[in-house]
Every structure is written in structure tokens, then in C-alpha cells.
A and B are shown apart, each in its own frame.
Chain A
Amino acid sequence: MIDRGYRVGEVFPASVCVVDDDVDFVSFLTRYLEARGCRVMAFASAEAFLSAPAALSAGFFLIDLTLPGADGVDLIGMIRAHSHAGIIVISGRMGPDAFSSALAAGADMFINKPVRFDQVYQAVVSVTRRLGPQPVSRGQWAFNIRSGCLVSPSGNEAALTGTEQKLFARLLLEGGEAVSRQSLAEAADIVPSKDDRNLDAAMFRMRRRIEQQTREPAPIKTIHGSGYATIDVTSDAG
């Protein structure tokens, strides 16, 4: 197990809700998780889950996609509307549609059956770690222009260098639209090169810095053939 500075006890949720119509699997998984001190609520359908109001307060959700009655994807959407807790899909479906629809509905990870219980456990740990011990609202990134700090939705901060601040401020000017490499290089006084390598290297280092300090994917995307753009970032003059 990789040690990233957490102890398993700190990152594994106290309660897990399992929604799956496979009675044998749910029964064995429940015993496995309960043996590790976790409280488990199991339901065989979305309807059964919805009839138990306390289920929504679970610290984590393990959902099967193929359920009798309401579909697992709809259930994920409903849970996500009320909870910020981690959601992992454990399903026998393998198509890209199943994956993308589950993630679009709000799931954090997709695991294919058959799955070992230790893999489920590890996946729950990974997602919980990614979301943070106390999952917070999945909001936007904020860039503080005065301090040059970028704050992640989880509240983690990344301190940018002078050049990186200029680059990020230029990206923010376009409000999520693509900014050309030339514009970025001019804004940050980066010596232009034929293949834009200097700028790409600066952007690469900035991404790495943000990811290392916040432990979250940097809110910057590469627009192939155009340049770069920010994703869900607000500026804060504060």
C-alpha cells in the first residue's frame, strides 16, 4: 500500500451504503467491511434505498448500475444532489457508455466486476483520500491575484511563482476560453522559441506545482493547436 501521509483509519469512511441486487456479493462484502469496523447499509434496489431516509447520510456509496426498477445512473444523480460523499460504481457492465454515464451522473470511480474485496477497500481509500477526509463542496478553484495563490475546491493552496502568476492571470482574462501560446508568452515575458517549448515547459512546471501542492488536478487544460485554458476558476482580487 502506498503511504501518502495518511493512515487507513483516517481515510476509510465510518459508514458505507451498498446498493446491489446481487444478494450473495452484498452479503459477503457486508461481512468483509463490517469485519473492518465499518457500518454497512445494504439495499437490493434503488426503491429500497429511497425508502430509507438514513441511507443518504452514509459516508460512502457503492452502487451497481444494473438494478431492478430505477437505473443505477439515476440513483447516482439523486445521491449526488444530496451528498458530497464518495460514490464508486461496481458493475459488470464494461462499455464506455456505462462508464461515462456513471461519471457524468457524479460517480467518483468505476470498478468492473469481478472485484476482490481488498480492491473495493483500496478503491474506497483512494477516492476518500482524493476527496479529503472531510469531503467539501465540489466548487470552483479561486485565484487570489494579490497573493498569487491558487486555492483548490478542497481549500488547498498552491503558491505560484511570478511568471506563473502572470500566466495564470492571462488565462483568467479569457474566462475559460483558449489563450494562444504567443499571448501567454508575451504576458509572462517568456522568450519566444520556434516550437513554443519555453512556454510549454513553464506551463508544465506550473501544473506540476499546483498538483503537488494541492494534490488535485490543475485547473488548466491544453487546447491542441490553440493553446491553454482554465477550468472552473474564479479570480479573487482580495
Chain B
Amino acid sequence: MAGLLIDVTTVQWAYLGLLIAFTICLGLMTQLTASSGLRWWLASNLTTAIAFPLFILRSEIPFGNVVFLLPTTLVIVSAALKLLAVIPAAQRRRRAWHMAMLVALFMAVYKLLDQAGWLAARLSFSLGTLSLLTLLIAHGASRNTRWRGIQGRGVLIISFTVSGVILAGLSARALGGNESFAYFSQGMAQSIAFGLNLLQLLLVHIGFIAVVIGRLTRVTVLKGARERELIRRRRLAEERGREMEAIAQERHALLELLTHEVRQPLNNAQAALQEISRTIDGQRLAALGMSQPVARLYDIIDQVVLALSNAIVAASLIERKSRQNARSVDLAEVAELAKGDCPLTAHGRITLLGADCPMFIQGDPVLLRLAFRNLLDNAIKFSAPETPITVKISVDEDRLGMIFEVRNIPTRPFTPDRALFERALRGDVSIEGSGLGLFIVREVSLIHEGTVDSRVASDGQTVFEMFFPA
């Protein structure tokens, strides 16, 4: 049995050597994983590595085998750090406070027991605290859901549990001993204690390394799966985007085709109607009672044309938000053409002002013409027949741009509202309309980096104004 007796210092140095070897191994593992638990574990190991030489030095002096405040506290701190290492990161901040308070309490009680000269109680208290922390580590590791299913977790839990139980036994035993009692006892008991101590160090580190590697593998696998899922989703989104684009293009093409197919016969009907108007004298037409029906027919065709143009332009505007067809456009010329697009019966009501000299902006003439036509249509609809509609084109010297303005006398009091320019919103549902007209006006204005506004003039007239920066 004497051969089993090992020198205390040798074992302590061996323990320290093994601890440092594991610490280096774990230090190298930090290159592989960003696990914060690993870093806390490393801090714990380093704390133990500082504590142990102190124990060794203390053991060289009389009563050196009795635990002292600094190395004992370091061992307690080391155990507290290990507890922080095995719990989930989210709980760490709260637990760190608890541990700090526990260490402070430990130091205070230790000091009191030391001053009272109760050395056995002091030793028992130290071992008891260490036992409590070791069991808490085992508990923490068992409650860490992220470690579930990882190999090595069981080894870790069992090792800490067994250590905790042994330490509890030693604590109880120390309470009945005297001041010369030490953790590293004498004879066979000492050899068993050394063996268990080294075994515990070995097992918990093997367990922890296995857990870290297991976590790393799991994270890598999950990351790979997530990346594959992301790639799959991105591909799906791209495919969906292409499908949507194709559907939008198809819808637009169909809309164009439809409008083309409707426009062509409408064009011929209008041409035939004009031929009738041209060949039959106006007075004869009136005598036949056909003047009004013919005028009404013209109006209907104009309204259908406007509705078709609005529908296709609105669909196109929603898709594109830029001036694709920008060129120098004479606002006066466009205003004149927009007036020409209005029903013939309304021509006499519309007066163009300020169109005596050209006013150019960079714009899309087709869109501008439709926007102006819509403002004129709005003025015609919301004013009494025969009342004047004034279109004014002017230069705004303050804002450095051009203004297109339409005024009419409203049949009902008008309240300016930005919501009027929203899609499918109609000011007066009793008046025919799709709710697209003013939306197109606003969109055309935005495309030209301009503004659109409505107000009530001092004479009570309704004013709609488009501003285009030069």
C-alpha cells in the first residue's frame, strides 16, 4: 500500500500540468468556434491554474495544508466561472450577478470563521461551498437545452455530480476534524483523493470538449441547412418574380391587344360618323333631328377613348416610374392637342391662355397630353354646361418652372383633398368615371418631378395646377 502513496506536491503539479494541457487544447478550439461558453470555461481554468501554485506553496509551510483565503476564493471563483460556462448565454448576465454575490458572501463568512479561529468549520464551509457550486454546474449543464442530444453532456453532468457528492462528504468529515485536517489527507485516503481529483479533471474536460465539438458540428450542419434553405427560398423568390413579371407583361400585352382591337373599330366608327357629318349639311342634320344624337355619339366615343387610354396608361405607369420617352415638349402644343381630344361639344367652353409662345419642358408628350386631357375632363364633368373652362400655361419665376392650370366653376362647392389623386377614388360617385383620371395626373406629375395641387380660387372657381420644373 505504501507504493500507492504519492507526494502531495507531485500530484498538485501533475494536476496543474493536465489543467494547462486542456486549457491550451480549449484555447486552440476558440479558433473553430465563437462559443462564449468556451471562453468562460477557459477563464475558469486559468483561475484554477493561478490557485494551484498557491496551494502548492502553502503546503510547504506549517499548517500549509489548511486552505487559505486567496487560493480557496480563486477555486470558488473558478467553479462559479464554470457554472457560467455551462448555462445558456441568455442567462449568463443574471447568473454572473448571483455568482459575484456568492463569492463576496463566501469571503465574508470565511473571514469571520478565520477570525473566530474555527478552522475546521472554515474548511468544511469551503468544501461545502465548492460542493454546492459543483452540483449547480451539473444542474446547469443538465438544463442547457442547447446541449441536448450532444455526446459528452452525460459525462460532464455525471462527473460534476459525483464530484459534488464527494465534496459534500469531505465537507461533513472536515466539520468533525481538527485544524490539521486537509483535503489531501494522509495514507490511502490521500491516494484515492488524488486519483479521484485527476479523474474528475480528465472526465469533465473530455465531456466539455465533446460538448463543444458536438455543438460546433450541430451549428455547422444547421448553418449549412439554413444556407441551403436560403438558396432554395431565393430561387423560389426569383422564379416567382419572373413568373409575376411574365404575368404582368402578358396582362399588359393583353390589355394593349384588347385596347387595340377596340380602338380600331372605334376609329372606323368615328371616321364614318365624321363622314356623315361632313356629307350631310348641318342644317339638314338638324332638320332630321340628328344633330344631338351625332354630338352625343361623338361624346361617347371620346369618353370610351379616354377610358381606354387611362386604363392602359395607368397599368403602364404603375410598372414604370421614369420618363422613358422624355424629349423637348412644348406645353402649349400639348395643351392645344389635349383640348382637341375633348368632346366637340365642350370645345367652345375651353379657353387657352398663355399659349402664344412656346414653353418647353423635358417630358413625355403622350403622358402629358393624357394628363391634361384628364384635368380638362374633370373640369367638364364637375361644371355646369356652357360655363367657361380656362386653361392657363404660365412661367413660374419663383419656382423656376412651368405651370399648367385648369379652372372651372363647380356645380357644387369643392373641397381640395390630396386623396382625390389616389387611384380608384372618385370625388362624386353620381358622376361617371373610373377614378383613374386624377391618379394619372398625379403619376405623370411625379414622373416629371413636378407637383400637382388643387385649390379654390378667391372667386370660388376650382383650380387644378400641375407644376413642372425647368
> Which residue of chain A has the shortest Cβ distance to B398 in the bound complex?
A201
A39: Cβ under 8 A from any B Cβ = no
A117 to B298, CA, bound (A): 12
A118 to B332, CA, bound (A): 18
Q: Would you call A126 and B316 a contact (CB within 8 A)?
A: no
Q: Would you call A221 and B278 a contact (CB within 8 A)?
A: no
The contact size tier of chain B is 35 or more
Q: Would you call B337 and A92 a contact (CB within 8 A)?
A: no
The contact size tier of chain A is 35 or more
Q: Would you call A2 and B264 a contact (CB within 8 A)?
A: no
Inter-chain contact total with CB atoms closer than 8 Å? 124
> Which residue of chain B has the shortest Cβ distance to A121 in the bound complex?
B340
A118 to B358, CA, bound (A): 22
Q: Would you call B271 and A117 a contact (CB within 8 A)?
A: yes
A175 to B269, CA, bound (A): 52
Produce 1/0 per residue, B309-320, CB < 8 A to A.
100110010001
Produce 1/0 per residue, A77-100, CB < 8 A to B.
000000000000000111110011
Stretch at the interface among A42-50, A133-141, A164-172, A206-214: A206-214
A24-78 interface with B by 8 A CB criterion: 24-25, 28-29, 31-32, 35
A155: Cβ under 8 A from any B Cβ = no
Distance in angstroms from A21 CB to nearest chain B CB is 10
**Complex interface: chain A residues within 8 A of B344 (CB):** 116, 118
- Quick one: which of A95, A110, A114, A215 contacts B270, CB cutoff 8 A? A114
Q: Would you call A96 and B305 a contact (CB within 8 A)?
A: no
**Complex interface: chain B residues within 8 A of A181 (CB):** none
- Quick one: which of A93, A112, A200, A208 contacts B309, CB cutoff 8 A? A112
B336: Cβ under 8 A from any A Cβ = yes
A103: Cβ under 8 A from any B Cβ = yes
A201 to B396, CA, bound (A): 11
**Complex interface: chain B residues within 8 A of A22 (CB):** 264, 267-268
Q: Would you call B324 and A100 a contact (CB within 8 A)?
A: yes
**Complex interface: chain B residues within 8 A of A24 (CB):** 268, 271-272
A1-25 interface with B by 8 A CB criterion: 1-4, 22, 24-25
B166: Cβ under 8 A from any A Cβ = no
Interface centre among B274, B309, B312, B366 (most CB of A within 10 A): B366
Interface centre among B272, B305, B470 (most CB of A within 10 A): B470
Mind listing 18 A-B residue pairs with CB under 8 Å? A4-B356, A22-B264, A22-B268, A25-B271, A28-B271, A92-B267, A94-B309, A94-B312, A113-B264, A114-B266, A115-B267, A116-B344, A118-B340, A118-B344, A119-B340, A201-B397, A211-B360, A215-B357
6 closest residue pairs by CB, A with B:
A217-B328, A114-B267, A28-B271, A217-B360, A113-B267, A92-B260
B: which residues have CB within 8 A of A?
252, 256, 259-260, 263-264, 266-272, 274-275, 278, 298, 301, 305, 309, 312-313, 316, 320, 324-325, 327-328, 330, 332-333, 336-337, 340-341, 344, 352, 355-360, 362, 365-366, 395, 397, 400, 470
